[in-house]
Chain A
């Protein structure tokens, strides 16, 4: 393993501030003269507002203002925009209701923003918020998908009959139906993908800071993508020109998707700061986060797999009801459609696929991307079906998968669901996982466990995911309302050190280290002389942020392209300095050399010449500072095989994770230590979904799991050490060959766990279990099967 550059397990440069308590998260920031905001939130799932009486609150000590949606509307504040438009199957646009940052006359979920109290201290604002008297007139609430789809259900939005936002389809329905007609076997499964709450440990926060001296605004926010917030809030909500709006996303304590979206509180604080002409600071309390951060997943699916007599997949048909929540969140419409159904080929050559997704409004918190964003839902459907097919057909689950894998010589592979995969070696990846898991030894381990009265099972998940979003033209055709390029700006200083301004954002991914490794590898400058700047739109001109495992694939490629421009210009300068022809000069590891000679100039010397151009090419501009915008040619397609072994105590239903073994093809690995760390984090969240976590609303739309008291976050004792290995095929269409790793763990492992549990319980006649497979559920499944 190298010690520097690409492939090195370099320790992280950013650690220093975090381990000494010098990280700068939004709540650590204080602006002179700031006031504090507390949001009045609806305790009702669905109600009209007959009136808001703030008179008592305004008298409370320290209160500066109480502002409402009516005040915002009066100021012409716009609604929070949806960033992706989805069409009905007949081509008509999705139903897109208004989404004001604070409601005017109707609340549509517990936690919906009703008013903001601003006071001199946080405690005063919170106390006064309790004095704001809101007259709620309750309306019938749609608490979840089954209520939303019910015949004659009440409406969340009058303009959305049947509570449907869109009814969308992908694939060839006729061909798929035909495939099912002629199929030797049909495997059917009804599944729930349980609703989750991302729960990054840092709660969201925002500080709006208006500067009257030049009529400019700064927003400090816990965001994964400050430029996206600048675009959405500036253009659509507050009507501010971009050059007057600076967004700073400093250190952010985890995002996992939940900090992508433009949230109401960002707009409220920015707007309020202008109104009061002083900074306004808001930090969520955790139970407030539970009812205001976007939630994840929440699908009900009926899926069918058609196979021929030899066990080849001939058709896949999926019907999904997806919960969008009360409003369409920034990417909420795209997650159960283009980020979901396009993955239904998985690793397999299934020729005919059709997916229908109906997205519903409910009186719950909006649902949007959460680690995996659509791909965990797809992998879960596919791999549960494949497991059931193996059981139903009496076929070996390893052989069944391998017989259906896309073969290496079939790439680039055009799937029936829009995506074209560039490269993969699914057999190689699978074999690596089988070895890591000691799959062949499982039988003996099962027998041994049985002697102790325990039920042991093993479960497989082989999957492909799509990330590195996205080619802008394709995304635009599919309804995206923004481009998805990334920007890399590489500045070589006269002294030879380098600053990279990237539109990517690190909230745990270690970009300050890995991006420096890219630079040191290509330009030969040691990592400690490369500074990565991100998160501040005043320093980084453009960008689209970090989500969908795109930072290296798209952000890294942009940096690579900017470095190519640096090298090209440096070559001209070096040739001039060495009095050689440009075409004779070669750049490698920090030096420009005249080929075949020992005449050489270091990058630092060339940089100095560029800024002190005394001996310099005549028609060349001074400076060594280049920007590249990289628009990806395609998504990237990491693939993996996850194998989980469980041991279940039938008396208690407790599932013991004996082995979590993963082999993943993440494309070229820049820093293996960081890649493994990303795998661990994704696996932990996938295990959380499969065994522990569930966001529950009661029938009246009250959020029952309202805090860490009853939403089960994975703890250290819930998880084992993970076995992670790799089997790499480099991406063919970006200059680095990188695919992405951030979401692979949360995508691949849930079906492997459930398959393992079903395998363990199969001898008792259990065929399926829903997530989370808590001890109670496992125990009940056993009881019910034996009854």
Chain B
């Protein structure tokens, strides 16, 4: 049996410890049922995470929409014995938002890869699938999705941008900056290079300045992103924006959004940065117009205004 190509389903893949082979409702399952993806993502940012009660382990958790036939390749890392398979559960999210446990997941395991873990190619033989291992061990699950033929895997990302919840289908390779500019239409964030030097693409992710050209959109799943369009609140400019205006810290304006967001991050960490500290901090932001003279003054003025 293969996935029915007509069946659009939402599949949540979790790694788990505990539980018995084939038992989707073993002791590893939280009493209130498997949590929905957004909640898990909040608890499980990044890699090598586990749920608060320590029973569920996961990596790269995603809510994915699958069409047609496909193969999942998992790299399963066991902390100790890589030859022993691990337990996984796959859950399907119903239309009403509830989750039901899957069953009937078949796996082939080509062997160890030298001690750290092994990879398994999993072919769903029925819908929804369950993958279990007998071993009651913490493990990490990496999911890579390969379309068998034709249909492209299109993850959906959900994140907050400038305070608004947004969602979009992206390719795995879509850069965050392209998601922001093309999918969301927020063109204030700019692309100035292709080697991550210029900083025209700087945004805030979780409050820290990040080069959005060097981050995949899927990595921002569940994140809190601020772009230049989100700096002003209720029509009142952010002190950094005002400072750039009052100190003539911009000419052509192309580097300006990234420059301001970088500056805001600096001031958040160093309330009263010296000239030298500002210049060093802006190493990742290139400007060709201003010679940085007025940019440095603007950042220092903003710092003073922001309470430094």
Contacts and interface: CB of A to CB of B under 8 A. Distances in A.
Interface of A: 11-12, 14-25, 27-28, 123, 198-203, 251-254, 256, 283, 285-287, 507-510, 673-674, 676-677, 680-685, 707-709, 713-717, 719, 721-722, 745
B8 to A, nearest CB: 22
Tell me the dominant secondary structure on chain B's binding face. Answer: loop
A508 B194 contact: no
Contact of A721 (B252, B254, B275, B286): B275
Contacts of A674: 248
B49 to A, nearest CB: 31
Interface in B275-308: 275-276, 278-280, 282-283, 285-296
A17 B241 CA distance: 11
Contacts of B253: 14-15, 17-19, 23, 251, 253, 508
30 contacts: A11-B248, A12-B245, A15-B250, A19-B228, A21-B186, A21-B229, A25-B187, A27-B181, A201-B287, A202-B192, A203-B192, A252-B252, A253-B255, A254-B251, A677-B248, A680-B291, A681-B290, A683-B291, A684-B288, A684-B292, A707-B195, A708-B198, A709-B195, A713-B286, A715-B292, A716-B282, A717-B276, A717-B280, A719-B291, A721-B275
Contact of A716 (B171, B195, B254, B295): B295
A716 B194 contact: no
B244 A19 contact: yes
A256 to B, nearest CB: 7
A680 B246 contact: no
Given A680-B293, A719-B291, A201 B286 contact: yes
B225 to A, nearest CB: 13
Q: Which of A12, A16, A21, A708 has the most CB of B within 10 A?
A: A21
B254 A19 contact: no
Nearest to B232: A20
Contacts of A14: 253
Given A27-B187, A717-B282, 8 more contacts: A21-B257, A24-B187, A25-B254, A200-B288, A201-B200, A201-B254, A507-B252, A680-B294
Contacts of A11: 245-246, 248
Contacts of B248: 11-12, 673-674, 676-677
A201 B186 contact: no
A20 B230 CA distance: 8
B272 interface: no
A509 B252 CA distance: 7
A717 B289 contact: no
B260 interface: yes
A508 B256 CA distance: 12
Contacts of A722: 291, 293
A730 to B, nearest CB: 24
Contacts of A714: 291
Tell me the dominant secondary structure on chain A's binding face. Answer: loop
B194 A286 contact: yes
B136 to A, nearest CB: 44
Nearest to A24: B187
B293 A721 contact: yes
B244 A716 contact: no
A18 B250 contact: yes
A254 B288 contact: yes
Contact of B292 (A18, A199, A707, A719): A719
Given A21-B187, A708-B193, A677 B251 contact: yes
B288 A256 contact: yes
B288 to A, nearest CB: 5
Contacts of B252: 200-202, 251-254, 507-508
A452 to B, nearest CB: 19
A685 B288 CA distance: 8
Contacts of B287: 201, 716
Contacts of A509: 251
A16 B260 CA distance: 14
Contacts of A508: 251-253, 289
A-B pairs, 4 with minimum CB distance? A21-B188, A18-B253, A253-B254, A684-B291
**How many of chain B's residues touch chain A, expressed as a range?**
35 or more
B191 interface: yes
Contacts of A201: 190, 192, 198, 200, 252, 254-255, 286-289
A179 B285 CA distance: 52
Contacts of A707: 193-195, 197
A118 B293 CA distance: 42
B165 interface: no
Contacts of A283: 191
B189 interface: yes
A708 B197 contact: yes
B215 interface: no
A510 B194 CA distance: 28
Interface in B145-174: 171, 173
B177 to A, nearest CB: 11
A714 B251 CA distance: 17
B68 to A, nearest CB: 16
A253 B278 CA distance: 23
A19 B195 contact: no
A745 B244 CA distance: 22
A279 to B, nearest CB: 15
Contacts of B254: 23, 25, 200-202, 253-254
B71 interface: no
Q: Which of A19, A707, A714, A717 has the most CB of B within 10 A?
A: A19
B132 interface: no
Contacts of B256: 18-19
A681 B254 CA distance: 14
B165 to A, nearest CB: 20
Contacts of B78: none
B292 A716 contact: yes
B237 interface: yes
A247 to B, nearest CB: 19
Interface string B217-243: 000000000011101100001000100
B112 to A, nearest CB: 35
Contacts of A123: 171, 173
Nearest to A510: B251
Interface string B61-99: 000000000000000000000000000000000000000
Contact of B251 (A25, A681, A716, A717): A681
Contacts of A15: 244-245, 250, 253
A509 B250 CA distance: 10
A681 B291 contact: yes
A256 B289 CA distance: 9
Interface in B191-207: 191-195, 197-198, 200
A287 B194 contact: yes
Contacts of B296: 716, 721
A680 B290 contact: yes
A680 B294 CA distance: 9
B279 A716 contact: yes
Given A203-B192, A253-B253, A717 B279 contact: yes
Contacts of B255: 201, 253
B203 to A, nearest CB: 11
A509 B228 CA distance: 22
A23 B195 contact: no
A510 B181 CA distance: 26
Nearest to B258: A201
A745 to B, nearest CB: 8
A254 to B, nearest CB: 4
Contacts of A21: 186-189, 227-229, 257
A674 B247 CA distance: 10
B237 to A, nearest CB: 7
A507 B252 CA distance: 5
A287 B296 CA distance: 28
A19 B241 contact: yes
Contacts of A709: 195, 197
B307 to A, nearest CB: 20
A715 B188 contact: no
A37 to B, nearest CB: 16
